[in-house]
Every structure is written in structure tokens, then in C-alpha cells.
Chains A and B, each alone.
Chain A
């Protein structure tokens, strides 16, 4: 047998969306009246009755394996099925098809402080929450001091948690969960709360859980930086389907590139004043390309139509993986260029400048800092591949986005 701790095979989960009843729950009256209508109607309206319901596959044919000690990040856009997958894995809801095999105890942390009761004191809530998460009383007792110290709430142990600040509340809740000792810990985006220092502490704790304890962590987040830092494996979900399963790095970059699948920007509608008609990335041979090696020049070819503007500025900004601007370059287009209403302008990024990684572009057309005609963000994703850069040995380490030929010298002999 393999060493997989979790095996997921062809997992699917279907929800039935009821178009007729927008309420959160069904009332008996509606069911009865519908059944009556159904009973007294002919074939034609039978179909109508069926139309009220629509199947929605939140997960479709998902298969993957998780090895012991893996830290798996699940990424995908809202509605991609991440939370549903976690819920199925943690047995909260039943799959519609497929099967999951789990070896070991699973604890899930889908929400901070599940089951905390506001009227109970911190001490009581530790026991309550621990039991809900599957700890025995003996286990909680033996870890009690550790939990309290981690949460930094010693002074308020006997205060009802409804009097806690939200930070204290979250710290206490995470502390209980962090001291669980399951073979598999499932965590849903709970780190989005708490101050930066505490977030760091949580991340550290999660890393410790998996590296020292050899335990498996499954983690859902929208924060790609955190996924990259914390996880070694990643899966990328899209509309309920599995797009990619592999290393966390690769999953993250797939996710980021997927945000804009087009390798070409094209504006079908005629704009006002001045607008970007088309933009593509090409290499020095003027051929379309999206993956560049580090020694290649990158050309951004922009086609602009200027309807009645004689001069304007164009700006191009390069965004990194995390949508932070690496740099911006601005060029002035003057009357001599706009004699034709169609302008093709090329912006060339020098070679050996951008570090290997994934990037995208913001392109803006504006009037000398006064008026922006158009601002198109996060288009034309591209990638720089390391084909022997000075930092090639440090691949996988996030050493920055640009190369800079710095001079190094000693004070004695400048």
C-alpha cells in the first residue's frame, strides 16, 4: 500500500438549487402545495415542476493523494469548490459520488472559535471548544497551560468571552485548535484574522505541526504568499474541477496565470477619446510569446486609436505574482505620432532585468497626470524562465523581482 494518508477518488458533490424558494429553508406549506400541484397537473406542467430545481456540481471528479507530512494548499477563486472540498474531507457533508480514504484522526478548523459560547469563561470555552474539535478532557488538561500561554489570555481566563476583545477571542480560539494533535489538520482561511504578529505565530505553529509532528495540514487560502510560504503541495480548483495538482509553487503560478487566460488584449468596442485597441507580447522577432527566457527582451506591442486627442501619455506597469507593481514606465505620445488615428507603439523591457517568475501588466492611457482615459489592469500574463541567471542556484527562493548589477567593493581599495 502507498504511504498516502488521504486518497480522494472521483469525488463529486452536487447541490440542488431551488429556483422557486429564495428562502433559506423550505416550509412544509410549500412542499404540500407543490405536491398538490404536481398531483393535479398534466404532463406539461410536470416539466415545469422539474424546472424549479437545478443541479449544481460544486465538485466534479476530483482525485488526488496526500502523503503523510504534506502541507497541502487548496487554491481557487470564490465558488471554485474549496470550502465544499474541505467540508467533505472533514465529514461535515456527504459526497454525492466518489470516495475518500483517510488514515488517521482528522480535525478541522473551518472557522475560528466554533462552538465558543459567549456566556462562558475563557477556561470553560477551552474545554468546550476542545471537546468539539475532538480532544478528550485529559488531553485538554495536559495542554491547558500551553494553550493559555499561546493565546496570551492568562489574566482573563475567568472572564466570559463575550467581554473579550476580538483579538483575544481569535487568539484563544486558534490556540485551542493549534494544540490539537490529529494526523490531519484541515484549516480554512482562519489566518485572515488577528494582527500581523499573531498571524506570523499561527503560521509558525502550523509549520511546526507538520514538520516536527510529521502531521498533514490541508490549508485553504486566498493569500498566495501564505500558501507559497506554508505549503509544499498545492491543488488548484476551478469551477468544481481539479485543474492542477503538484507543488505549491506551480499551483500558485497556475492560479495566478489563470486569472487572465488571454495572451492577447483586444477591445472589441470602440472607445471614446483615445483607447487601447489591442495589446500583445512579442519577442525580438515580432512573434507572439508568453514565456520568455531571462536573456530575452520583452516587447509590449500596443495598438491605440486616438479619436480626437493630439497628444497623451501611455504608461505600462509590470506586476509581480502578488499583483504588486515592480516598476512603471511612461511614454509621451505627441502630435507627430498621432497624424494617423491608429498608433502602434512598442515598449521594450530589457533582457536580464526581470527575475524569473510570473508577471502581468497594467496599461494606462492618460493626459499628463490630469485625466485618465483608460486604465486596464492585470492583463497579458507572462513568465520569465531561468535559463542560467546568476541566481539560478537559488531557484524557489523569493529573492526579488529584478536583477541589479551592483558594484561590490571594499573600503580599503575602492
Chain B
């Protein structure tokens, strides 16, 4: 502990800390533990427990396949089965919507910690995004099972999948940070989030392919960062064509949100304890 002792910590008004990111690194164990706690507690007192992580996306996929493919007669962009296309979109969307709703409520849900202990506040929303990542991993197993079921071979592009997961992470974390910081002060966002998530499911190409969007609207459509992410998933898993210009727009928007999220969060985090 000697080396820490030599550090002099200066707490000053309006003085943002020099060692902010190092501090987060120092508290990394708290990060694991909070994620672990959320996972551990999540399915307590449920009968089927972790199976909920599988059932929810699976049922939505089945319903979407029936509604969009069988009833609305929409077609997949490539030769892949429609259900696979839906699931390839459902996967990142579920991750995004789960992390967004978890992250935006995370600070309020942990208000007792915020008002009683110091730690870098960013750990709280970050760990809830990580928790959603675990759900994502479980859902991924369903995808593999579906490949086996349909006897379909994934595209070689799948090696680029981590890149798209990263973009999804950036989008979810950035927006989540921004909203959770706002939520501390304005509790309205608690009601806005479920709405965004529900609404988003239909305006984001989860149940259909983004290729059905008319050409003149396409660029605008990609302002929704998840459109680019879902296209990327379908490209890397199923080999569907990707609209590259649109993808760049989505990534830019995701990065912009990350920047806004982090700077707003850091600006307001010192007053969290007073406002929460």
C-alpha cells in the first residue's frame, strides 16, 4: 500500500480529476462484482431462471418471422432463411435495448451506493452494459443452434463480427451514459426509455431488411446507429449486402453519442450525490 500512500489526492471545487481513467482501472474489481451481482440477482425466485434469456428473443423472432414473412410477405435480402435474418437483427437489438434500459436506470437503482460511497460513477452504467453482454452471449448460442437447424453455413465475414459488437457496445454505452446522467435529475427519462425501446424495435430493421427502405430516405435512416449495426451483423453472419455509406453514418452517430455521453456524464457526476 506504500505506493498508494505517496499519492496525494487533491479535492478541489470544479477541478476534474487528472487520474480519472486510472481511477476506473483501480476500481476494476468493483466493476466485475457489480456485474456479477446483477447477474446473480436477476433470476432469483424465478422457476426457469436463466432460460428467460433464451425464451424472450426466441419468441420475438418467431412472432416477427410470422408477421413480416408469412403475413406481410416480406423477403430476406439474400438466400438465407427469414428466421435467421430476423434473429441476426434481433441479437444486436436485444443487446442494445437491454443495455439501454438497464444502464439508464442503473444510477437510480444504485442510489444508496452513490450517496454513501465514492467510486468512479461510470462503473455503474458500464457494468450494466456488461451484464447485457452476457445475455447477448447466451442468445448467440441460439444463433448457433439455428444454423444447425437450418443446416446453413455462416459467411466467412463472421470474423468481422466483433467489430460490429463493438459498435453496438459504443452506441448502447454512449446513449446509456447520457440518459442515466439525465435521469438522475429528470426522472422523466424513466418513462421515455421503455417508449424508445418499444418504438425502436419497429423503426429499426429487426423484422425486415434495411434494403426495403426507399433510396432517398436511406442516408437519413442510418442516423439510427442500430441500423448500421444490424446491417453489419447480417453482412458478417449471413453475407447480406451492406450499404457502406450508411454504415459509416451509423458509426459516426454512435461515436458522437459516446462522446456526448462521456462528457455530459463527467460534467454532472460530481453532483449525482446531491441530486439523487
A residues contacting B by CB (< 8 A) are: 15, 25-29, 31, 87-106, 108, 110-111, 114-115, 117, 119-120, 124, 127-128, 131-134, 136-137, 181, 183
Contact = CB atoms under 8 A, between A and B. Distances in A.
Contact of B33 (A96, A127, A181): A127
B13 A115 contact: no
B117 A102 contact: no
Interface of B: 1, 4-14, 27, 29-30, 33-34, 37, 40-41, 44-45, 110, 112-119, 185-188, 270-271, 273-275
8 contacts: A25-B185, A93-B273, A95-B12, A95-B13, A101-B9, A101-B11, A110-B117, A137-B29
Contact of B37 (A93, A120, A136, A183): A120
Contacts of B118: 90-92, 106, 108
A31 B186 contact: yes
A29 B188 contact: yes
A25 B40 contact: no
B33 A114 contact: no
B5 A88 contact: no
A95 B37 CA distance: 32
A392 B40 CA distance: 62
Contact of B186 (A26, A102, A133): A26
A98 B15 CA distance: 11
A93 B274 contact: yes
A128 B116 contact: no
B4 A131 contact: no
A93 B14 CA distance: 11
Nearest to A181: B1
Contact of B188 (A28, A102, A114, A134): A28
Given A104-B4, A120-B40, A136 B273 contact: no
A102 B11 contact: yes
A103 B33 contact: no
B115 A92 contact: yes
A339 to B, nearest CB: 64
Contact of A27 (B29, B117, B187): B187
Contacts of B9: 101-103, 106
Contacts of B274: 15, 93
Contacts of B188: 27-29
Given A104-B5, A131-B34, 10 more contacts: A27-B187, A28-B186, A88-B11, A89-B11, A92-B115, A99-B10, A108-B116, A114-B113, A132-B33, A136-B29
B273 A100 contact: no
Contacts of B270: 93-94
Contact of B116 (A96, A106, A110, A124): A110
A114 to B, nearest CB: 4
Contacts of A134: 27, 30, 119
Contact of B44 (A31, A105, A119, A128): A119
Nearest to A23: B187
B178 to A, nearest CB: 14
B228 to A, nearest CB: 29
Nearest to A16: B274
Contact of A115 (B27, B117, B187): B117
A108 B116 CA distance: 8
Q: Which 10 A-B pairs have the closest CB atoms?
A: A94-B270, A91-B118, A100-B11, A131-B33, A99-B12, A28-B188, A28-B186, A93-B273, A114-B116, A102-B9
Contacts of A103: 5-9
B33 to A, nearest CB: 4
A103 B7 CA distance: 6
Q: Which of B30, B185, B187 has the most CB of A within 10 A?
A: B30
Contacts of B8: 101-103
A192 to B, nearest CB: 16
A206 B117 CA distance: 19
Contact of B273 (A29, A87, A117, A137): A87
Contacts of A131: 29-30, 33-34
Nearest to B42: A119
A95 B11 contact: yes
B30 A96 contact: no
Contacts of B271: 93-94
Nearest to A105: B4
A120 B38 CA distance: 11
A91 B11 contact: yes
Contacts of B113: 114-115, 132
A96 B271 CA distance: 11
Contact of A92 (B117, B185, B187): B117
Contacts of B110: 115
B30 A132 contact: yes
A117 B41 contact: yes
Nearest to B45: A119
Given A93-B273, A94-B13, A183-B5, A133 B117 contact: yes
Q: Which of A97, A104, A110 has the most CB of B within 10 A?
A: A104
Q: Which of A25, A99, A127, A136 has the most CB of B within 10 A?
A: A25
Contact of B10 (A94, A101, A104, A132): A101
Given A103-B7, A119-B44, A120-B40, A27 B116 contact: no
A310 B114 CA distance: 64
Nearest to B272: A93
Contacts of B45: 119
Contacts of A27: 186-188
A287 B49 CA distance: 81
A98 B13 contact: yes
Contacts of B116: 92, 108, 110-111, 114
A332 B270 CA distance: 64
Contacts of B12: 95, 98-100
Contact of A105 (B1, B33, B40, B117): B1
